[in-house]
Structure 1
Amino acid sequence: MTAASRPKHGAHDRMLRAIALFKFFKTALLVTVGLGARELLRPEVAEQAQEWVAALSLRSERVAAQDLLGRLDDVAPSRLAALAAASFVYATVFAVEGVGLWRARRWAEYITVVTTLSFVPLEAHHLLRYPSAPGVSALALNLAVVLYLIARLKRRGVSK
């Protein structure tokens, strides 16, 4: 392939790649959550976690970790299994979006707009109940991605 025939990557392609990297990050995070939820279904993992908490040297760290483990004890195994399954499903969706966006595929832009918008009501509801700066940042970032992709799709629709 000669330099003249190589595709040129402009600012728009860099933005798509940045969004794709964000999707890949979400994929990795969800796979980690899914694997963690599956591991918590194993009784020996819970026992090992209790031993690690007991070995913590600082009392404040130990109390916080014991509180977290106590909350996890109250989670039914069926809920952990559902969390793992949902995490893997969403990780797959985000991975497909990421690959499509990385390759500048129009279908990936549409899928990303639809899936991202589908989470906005849930994020907004959660923010109303539990306001936080990271929550506001995540919602703003997701809305910025959607607005960028919609504008890009409109521009491409006019030019093609």
Structure 2
Amino acid sequence: PAPAPAPAATQPRHAGLRVIAVYEIIKTACLLLVAMAAFHLDHQQSFEQLVHWLEHLSLTDSNGLRWKLVGLLQDFGPSRFVAVGAVALGYAVLFGIEGIGLWLGKYWAEWFTVIATGSLIPLELYETLHRFGWLKLATLVGNVAIVVYLVRIALQTRAARRASRPHTS
């Protein structure tokens, strides 16, 4: 006999958690790439090759931006890329834990993601108001939506668990 399909009320919840989990895993993969690049750029030779490549790159209508980037990289220096790599790696681990936990449907992952994502919202709000950008606004709105959604799901899950427990006197 085939297993009974899940109730309709749990399917959207499961799908929503899966979408958020995929988003967290994509962020993890991107941050791992940033960390690998940063750890690679901490070597003087690799750093100098990047600066040389940028200096000789011919980009129409973007010379000002290119020279600003070259200047920024030279001011930054190769030694600071280790710190950038470490921070990126730390966030990759955090987002990876969130994504895997949500994918597996773990209750703790819902609250873990709420706390981690919610803790960054004040900074995102400040950054969006201070230096407005459409991508910053979209990120802020998306993260607020994720937090609200996960809080609602986590509270429903808790209420459903309480309701399903046998009452003991």
Same fold (TM over 0.5): yes
Runs of 4+ more than 6 Å apart: 5-9
* Deviation readout 1:78-108 (Å, 9 max, x if unpaired): 5322221111011001001101100110011
- Secondary structure of 1:48's match? helix
Where does residue 128 of structure 1 map in the other structure? 129
Instruction: Encode CA deviations 1:29-80: one digit per residue, 9 max, x unaligned.
Output: 2112212222221111122223323443345345432321210111155532
CA distance in 1, matches of 2:71, 2:50: 11
- Are 1:23 and 1:98, in contact at CA under 8 Å, matched by a contact in 2? yes
Cα gap change, 1:58/1:135 in structure 2, threshold over 3 Å: closer, same or farther? Answer: closer
Counterpart of 2:83, as a letter, is A
SS of residue matched to 1:74:
helix
Deviation string, structure 1 residues 13-43 (Cα, Å, up to 9, x no partner): 1110000010011111211221222222111
Give the aligned residue type for 1:85: A
Q: Say which is worse superposed, 28-37 or 115-124, in terms of deviation.
A: 28-37
CA contact (8 A) 1:23 1:97 kept: yes
Distance, in Å, in 2 between the alignment partners of 1:85 and 1:150 is 30
1:82 corresponds in structure 2 to 83
In structure 1, what is the Cα distance between the partners aligned to 2:59 and 2:90?
A: 38
Within a 5 Å distance, the mapping from 1:12-31 to structure 2 comes to 12-31=13-32
Larger radius of gyration: 2
Structure 2, unmatched stretches of 5+, are: 162-169
Structure 1 stretches lacking a partner, 5+ long: none
Aligned to 1:150, the other structure's residue is in SS state helix
Matches within 5 A, 1:47-66: 47-66=48-67
CA deviations over 1:126-148 (Å, ceiling 9, x no partner): 11221111101100000100100
Q: Match of 1:50, as an amino acid?
A: V
Checking the alignment, whether the CA contact within 8 Å between 2:27 and 2:95 is kept in structure 1 is yes
Q: 1:147 to 1:28 in 2, by over 3 A?
A: same
Cα-Cα RMSD: 2.1
Task: Give the letter for the 2:137 counterpart.
Answer: V
The range that moved more, 73-82 or 19-28, is 73-82
Whether 1:92 aligns to 2:105 is no
C-alpha spacing 1:47/1:60, structure 2 compared with 1 (3 Å): farther
Deviation at 1:159, TM superposition (A): 1.0
Cα deviation, residue 5, structure 1 = 6.4
**CA distance 1:122–1:79, change in 2 (3 Å):** farther
CA–CA distance in structure 2, aligned partners of residues 10 and 113 of structure 1: 21
